[in-house]
Each structure stands twice: as structure tokens, then as C-alpha cells.
Amino acid sequence: MKYPIYLDHNATTPCSEEVIAAMLPFFGAHFGNAASKSHPYGWVAEQAVEDAREAIAQLIGAKSKELIFTSGATESLNLAIKGVFDLFSGEKQHYITCQTEHKAVLDSMAEIEQRGAEVSYLHVNSDGEVDLSLLEQSIQPHTKMICLMWANNETGVIHPIQEVAQIADKHGIIFLTDAVQAVGKIPVSTQGVHLMALSAHKLYGPKGVGALYVRHNHSLPKPLAQLHGGGHEKGFRSGTLNVPGIVGFGKAAQLRIQEMTEESNRLDGLRNRLEKGLLELPGVHRNGSMKNRLAHVSNLSFSGVEGEELLLKVNQQVAVSSGSACTSISPKPSHVLQAMGISSDLGRASLRFSLGKDTRAETVEHAVSCVKSVIEQLRNS
């Protein structure tokens, strides 16, 4: 099969060759269960898991004991949100999040609302930015958690996480951040953060493995487990560990520590080149703040075309998305763009371009040419 150009790295990234090589022995020769404490097969697997835990901890400035392995960021966010809700069961509870969060957060918040929690969904401005004064004004005496993503998956907008952490600390509130799109792309620190979700397949690791950072040695409590059956991962998440996936996650983290800064600078130049080429067309608009955003992400709206047809035709030559991969099956406009005040028609006619390690200057030039051709064709039909 002849694949189109791939510019959808926010949906998933290809495993690095080094990651695949690191994982392979743990499917065969070193196939042991990391929970098997009584023989060498288990010891080797357990040591590999702990080495990976240490590598990932270094990437985010944490202690290895503060990382809990999960099946991915969706599970991590469910564990964090529902685990905190269960912890305060029977109490009046209030949570603060944002309208532009990933569906894993929004749907989890909707679930605890059904179970009696109050949830405030912060508005954003036309650039997708949160008003920190509004955030602080939203805090109530029974607020248990602030949940705000580090970088938006659709626009690349980076939120002021350190300032949010200071607000949470000032009021003694648990702070959870979905750092999936930020980790391995920009410097990330756990300073002031109590809970952080991350995922391997967004940073050139395998699918099906993620982690939840749970801050230790702090007066604020930790979430209650949502999966039971063996007490794995310090009792936070039972289940046999995905040793090959965890090994791959650890290797990917090591590589991102080495590559992140130089790669970010390279992709910033290529992203700007892509935007310059497409913004030459009339009726093309950039969505999201230019001041604080990920270097590899561009979200553009194309007026005068029908969104579903635009996506279908562009994807024959350039693999992009209209928003989060988790919501790409829906014909509805992006909830992120709607929250930013973008009309439904323009929201549906928006494309997210997310570049990666395999993106080159010639890739970008070809993509610009393909998209321009499609836009001109649709507008003239």
C-alpha cells in the first residue's frame, strides 16, 4: 500500500527503530512476568521495568517511585479523576477544568458529575488561552482538583502550568495535568504538580502503555485505585505489566531527552514554512495562539469549502486530521475550536497538521502543494 505523507503526529507517532530493538527481546528470550519474584525470568523483567521507570522519571523531573504504569493516558486520567472523586466519597466536591480539554478528561468529569460532583468548565479566549484570574475566582471551599492540560492536542497552545500549579498550591488543591502532547516535545517538570498523565505512543514509543505521575511526600492525598486484582503498581493499578511496552516507553524517553531541543527547533522552522505556504491562499486562518504553542503543530481553517469533503480529499495525499484522533469519527465540529468561538462551518473545515521526526523540507513543500490544489479544486467546483 502506498501511504500518503504523514502529518498527523499528534494522533500517534511511529516507533523509533531503537525502541523496537529494545522491545523485541522481551517478547521472546526475556518473556517473564515482572510480578514473578521467585525466579530469574521475573527478575529480568522486573529490572527492565524499573530501568524504564527511571528513564521516564528523568524525562519529567520525577522520582521513579512516583510513576504508575497504565495502558495509556486515557486510563491514567480516569484513574486520577475518578480516584480522587472516590477518595472524597460522601463529601461535597467541586472540580475545575477547561472546555478545551481532551475527551478523556471531559468524559471523566461528566461521569463524576453524574455521581454528584460539581464541575466548572473554564472558557478560553479566541486564541485558546485560559484566564488565570477566572480560574482563581472559580475556586470554592470544597474544590478538590484543578485539571488543565499542558499543551492542547488540536491547536498546540501551551498553558501556563507553573502559574496554575502556584494557584493550586496557594489554595491547597490537587493539580492534575494531561501532559501527553507536551512530554518529549518541550521541557516538562513535575514541580507543583500532583498528578500527571503521559503516553508512550505520542513520543515515538509503542501504543498501549502510559503512566500516571503521583506525587509522593506531600500532604495532599493520592487517588484510589480503579482496577483491583493483585495490588500491582503499589496498589494503584492492578494487572500484569506490559513489559515490552514499558521497555519501549523507557527507551523512547531516553531518546527524547537527547533529541528534544534540536528537534523542536527544526520542526518550528518547517511548521512556519508550511503555514507561510498555506496562508498565502485567501480565506485561510490560523487557529490558536502564536505566542505559546508547540513547535510542530498548526491548526488552519479554510473558508469556502465543505469540511468533510476537504478532509477526504486532502487525506488521499497528506494524512492529517480535523482534531483529536479520539473524535475524528464524529462529523461534529471540534469542541476545542467551538470553545474558541470559531463557527461550526469553519470548525469543520479546519485541519490539524502535526509534524514529526520523519518530516523534511520537501515533505512540507509537497504537502503545501497538495493542500493548495485541493482547496482550489473545491472552491471552483
At 184-230, the pLDDT tens digits run: 999 999 999 999 999 999 999 999 999 999 999 899 999 999 999 98
- How is the chain split into domains, by residue range? 5-12+260-380, 17-254
Q: What is the pTM of this model?
A: 0.95
Neighbour count for residue 219 (Cβ, 10 Å): 5
Tell me what pLDDT residue 322 has.
Answer: 85
pLDDT greater than 70 at residue 131: yes
CATH among 3.40.640.10, 3.40.190.10, 2.60.40.10, 3.30.110.70 for 17-254: 3.40.640.10
- E strands within the chain? 5-6, 67-70, 94-98, 118-122, 143-147, 174-178, 195-199, 210-214, 284-286, 297-302, 318-319, 350-354
CA distance 20 to 62: 25
pLDDT greater than 90 at residue 58: yes
Tell me what pLDDT residue 326 has.
Answer: 53
Give 298: exposed, middle or buried? Use CB within 10 Å, 0-12, 13-18, 19+. Answer: buried
- Cβ proximity of 298 and 139 under 8 Å: no
CA distance 296 to 255: 18
The answer to which of 74-88, 228-242, 280-294, 322-336 has the lowest mean pLDDT is 322-336
HSE-up (13 A, CA, CB side) for residue 365: 3
pLDDT in tens, 226-268: 999 988 999 899 999 999 999 999 999 999 999 999 999 999 9
CATH architecture of 5-12+260-380: Alpha-Beta Complex (3.90)
Is 147 one of the catalytic residues? no
Q: Read off the pLDDT band of 381 (50, 70, 90).
A: confident
- List 98, 147, 326, 370, catalytic entry: 326
